[in-house]
Structure 1
Amino acid sequence: MSTPERVTHREVREILRSFQGSGWSAMTLELDGMRVTVGKDGPPAAPASPAPVAEKPAPEAAPVVAAAPEPAPPARPGAPEPVDRTGCVEVRSPAVGAFWVAPSPGEPPFVEPGQTVTANQQLAIVEVMKLMNPVVAPQAGVVVEILAANADLVEYDQPLFLIRPTDE
């Protein structure tokens, strides 16, 4: 009879980071005979009402690509230029996990905004419990915007990149 694997400190930390990036307000986790209960607004209490969770709109509810371009608001001094998202294709996360823009720490990113990419070219990694899932371009184009920051926790199907397709 084999001994079950123990959950590592890093794995617990990864689960807690995933919780922090989720829409949940509280969570109880039972692992290896240990129970951890956490809440985003202090220690969780018995839920009085589901209203606080329902009041927050889901981040995915906002459209990423506008159907009709709107005039850009006047730029503030020092503010980045607004990105033209017209005709862009979204590249979405293959899993829930940590988003990495480079193959390993200290190395240059796979891609940067303005860079031309080919179909199936690797753009990033989503790490799930030490398993590295490649994020690849669905078609050739130019990277218009990277929608997540390095080391962010991302959700399944969350938009990560915007690519403007090319004729290739």
Structure 2
Amino acid sequence: MSTPSTPSWQDVLDLVTRLDDAAYDSAAVEFGDVSVRLSRSADLPVTSPTAGTTPQSLAPSPNGNAPATAPAAAPAVTEPAAAKLAPSAPAPAEPASNSTVVTAPIIGVFYRSPSPGAPPFVEPGAAVEADTTIGIIEVMKLMNPVTAGTSGTLTEFLAADNAQVEFGQPLAVVAGEESP
């Protein structure tokens, strides 16, 4: 992991992977001024940082099976985690055998064009190469290009323009070139 004062997205993804593989119901970690709280249940409240908040420690969960986070020492503004979650889109249909699904390399906001009002990087039906930019994902005002990853024809977008996307979420389908 990075140093405690400079967390990266990879650090957060590593925490998610570790929680998924562990017998914990939830975990809370602080990296300097950044606090990350993960939970398997959707009813864990989301807290806003307040002055005087201290790091949380692990304590046994009420059912006694696995540790859970202890309450914060300082008061915090809470709201249900479900209010922060957008409804998930229905699962896309299975792509053809010669097709490749382009997935989000990072979480953020997906855009099909370089700026508002500009034409999209590529339209469905267009031929693409592996290095063709099909969109961008904005994370903290940084634009990260999303490339097709393979040669073929972009058949459809699975994520809407200006939509919040998660790591690994399907964004588009590229049909591979037919072999002779």
Scaled by the length of structure 2, the TM-score of the pair is 0.53
Note if 1:107 corresponds to 2:118.
yes
Equivalent pairs counted in the alignment come to: 113
Q: What's the counterpart of residue 50 of structure 1?
A: none
Per the alignment, residue 143 of structure 2 pairs with 132
Check conservation: 1:99, 1:150, Cα contact below 8 A.
yes
Q: What is the alpha-carbon root mean square deviation over aligned residues?
A: 3.2
> In 2 relative to 1, CA 63–151 (structure 1 residues): closer, same or farther, beyond 3 Å?
closer
Give, in whole Å, the separation in 2 of the partners of 1:91 and 1:29: 34
Partner of 1:38: 79
CA deviation vs aligned residue, 1:66-102 (integer Å, no higher than 9, x gap): xxxxxxxxxxxxxxxxxxx312100000111001010
Question: How far apart are residue 131 of structure 1 and its match?
Answer: 1.1
Matched, 1:29 2:48: yes
Matched, 1:144 2:155: yes
In structure 1, what residue type is equivalent to 2:96? Answer: T
**Given the alignment, which residue of 79, 102, 116 partners 1:91?**
102
Contact 1:60 1:158 in 2 (8 A): no
- Answer whether contact 1:89 1:163 (CA < 8 A) is retained: yes
C-alpha distance 127-36 of structure 1, shift in aligned 2 (>3 A): farther
Unaligned 5+ segments in structure 2 are 1-40, 54-75
Structure 1 unmatched ranges of 5 or more: 1-22, 45-57, 66-84
Give secondary structure in 1 for the equivalent of 2:110: strand
Q: Identity over aligned residues, as a percent?
A: 39
What do the CA deviations read for 1:2-29 (whole angstroms, capped 9, x no partner)?
xxxxxxxxxxxxxxxxxxxxx9454223
Q: How far apart in 1 are the matches of 2:154 and 2:51?
A: 44
- SS at 1:30 equivalent: coil
**Between structures 1 and 2, the one with greater strand share:** 2
Q: Tell me the alpha carbon deviations over residues 114-162 of structure 1, each in whole angstroms, 9 at most, x when there is no partner.
A: 1111111100001011111110011111011100111110000101000
Pair 1:157-2:168 in alignment: yes
Distance 1:157 1:108, change over 3 A: same
TM-score normalized by structure 1?
Answer: 0.57
Q: Which has the higher contact order (CA 8 A, sep 6+)?
A: 1
SS at structure 2 position matched to 1:150: coil
Moved over 4 A (4+): 23-26, 31-36, 58-64
Task: Assess, with a 3 A threshold, how the Cα gap between structure 1 residues 129 and 95 changes in structure 2: closer, same or farther.
Answer: same
